[in-house]
Copies of this chain bind each other. A is one copy, B any other.
Amino acid sequence: MSDQVPVLTIAGTDPSGGAGIQADLKTFTAHKCYGTSVITALVAQNTTGVQAVQACTPDFVAQQLRSVLEDIDIRAMKTGMLFDSDIIRSVTRTLREHYGANIPPLVCDPVCVSTSGHTLLRPEAVDDMITELFPLTTLITPNKSEAELILSTRKLPSNITNLADMLSASQDLLTLGPKAVLLKGGHVISSMQDVLRIAADHPEMRIFRDGLLDENMEILQITEEDIAARSLVVDVLRDKDTVTLFLRPRINSTSTHGTGCTLSAAITCALGRGNSLIEATDLGTAYTHLGIETASGIGKGHGPLNHMHSIMPRNIPQSTRSVPHPFTRLLIKSTTDIWKQYVEHDFVKQLARGTLPRECFLHFIKQDYLYLRYYARAYGLLVAKSSTFSAIDAATKTIINVITEVTTHKSFCAQWGISEEELQSIPESPATTAYGAYILDVGLQGDASRLLMAVAACLLGYGEVGLWIKKEAAKPGTWVVLDGNPYTRWIDDYSGEHYQEAVRTGIETIEAMAAADPPSPARLKEWVLVWERCTRLEKGFWDMALGLL
């Protein structure tokens, strides 16, 4: 979903947040659209009803609208509560002045009366809404009572009691100028029988079912009999060529405050993204339906919908110029103490001073030789777990790097009189087995991402150790001794360009992985645990080398 498609609502307010521009902005944000809003009237309301209304002046509505339109390229817009004729005229005149004949998709939710019976559009303004606004609209979204009021204003048959009435009413509404009509069925009782009867007469009609069992879903244990017996909500979408029904099970809920606002806002988002009217209606009704069903009962009256059911928190921040490696930072920061104990270990310090006993270093090098055999195998497993040739290539290159590293180990050992045969027959210390076998176990148990976490602590950690020693060595009066230090070559290897290049690639790989497949909280926790465990095992490896365990 590309971010930040600019959309606009022109409507009244609801301080309690469930309806009006507040519900619209929440819906826009949940759809990752960029919300703008022009206020027509301030309404002191909450879930129990409307306490007071203060309309804006038509001029100030126009001023707000110009502030938006002159600055931002709006892709789709909606209207809600428009209050009176002057505001309607002010809105349509400003739109025409700005856009000429090329108005972006415009959804009109013809709000007239609040659930509690408060007037949100003056009765004499209904005719102006039809005459002035409807001809500009892509879609109008009346409910039963709004449709009845609009139709009766134009002396058209206006009694809507069943699905058949809805079909003819939608046809009559279409004659009033909008390009399409979505007549909402929330206040009309319909059953599957009604739908089947109507569908039999209209074979061209499309039917969308949501939350109802389709064929070949017997295993979901709701029988067709249950559905047939169930009361449905059927929304009717009609344009000049097609009629589409959207069927859903009726939900028993009082969390319906702002349903119309939310639906028209969600449809506006989808139209702004370039969806067709049918797609947009399908998406919008699904979003709204789930908003009602997952509502949490805020307020004392008819509560608001849950506008946030469709979003989740992002657990790893986006990469930016100032923080290009957010995931690696998160890993290191989540294990600050143990990471420091690993990097600045006594073994490392003695090695950097050149005071590390030779037998400790040799013990370390021998065990590291055995460890690297596991490590190379882990990358072999990573090859097997890869999906692309580039991933296969990257893991294979690491195996080659490890083989090079092992060659260095062998030459270190040869230098100190240890033959390759002796290396092969060294007993493996428990710290080595624990670390090596753990990585392979992670590789068996999880996917490539988890295995990448398991191999990262070694790759990144040795790179950090190398750079840390070099940094300390560069300080005035440093404690590090490089001249005449028997381990200088080791330090040079890990701080050198060749190894650091591998570290950089490793960092880019895990960052790309996290960005391409942002983890859920559970998955991120797993990743961090693997990283932390390996960091501890690294520290354990130095402990072993110092303690000759």
Contact = CB atoms under 8 A, between A and B. Distances in A.
A441 B509 CA distance: 24
A522 B449 CA distance: 13
A520 B522 contact: no
Nearest to A450: B447
Contacts of A37: 13, 15, 17, 22
A34 B460 CA distance: 42
B320 A293 contact: yes
A79 interface: no
Interface in A164-211: 211
Interface stretch (A117-125, A324-332, A425-433, A481-489): A324-332
A54 to B, nearest CB: 6
Nearest to A462: B219
Copies of this chain, complex-wide, total 2
B251 A322 contact: yes
Contacts of A67: 15-16, 44-46, 51
B71 A301 contact: yes
A357 interface: no
Interface in A203-223: 211, 214-221
A311 B311 contact: yes
A6 interface: yes
B72 A298 contact: yes
Contacts of A323: 211
Contacts of A47: 71-72
A236 interface: no
A467 B218 CA distance: 6
Q: By CB atoms of chain B within 10 A, which of A221, A294, A314, A323 has the most? A: A323
A455 interface: no
A42 B12 CA distance: 12
A336 to B, nearest CB: 7
B26 A385 contact: no
B308 A32 contact: yes
B447 A447 contact: yes
Nearest to A27: B29
A52 interface: yes
Q: Among the interface residues A3, A42, A446, which one has the most CB atoms of the partner chain B within 10 A?
A: A42
Nearest to A217: B332
Interface string A53-69: 01011001001111110
15 contacts: A15-B68, A17-B34, A34-B298, A46-B68, A216-B332, A216-B343, A286-B317, A310-B313, A311-B314, A384-B445, A385-B445, A387-B445, A445-B448, A516-B522, A517-B520
Interface of A: 1, 3-4, 6, 13, 15-17, 22, 25-26, 29-30, 32, 34-39, 42, 44-48, 51-52, 54, 56-57, 60, 63-68, 70-72, 211, 214-221, 248-249, 251, 286, 290, 293-294, 296, 298-301, 304, 306-314, 317-318, 320-323, 325, 328-329, 332-333, 336, 339-340, 343-344, 384-385, 387, 444-448, 450, 460, 463-464, 467-468, 471, 500, 503-504, 507, 516-520, 522-523
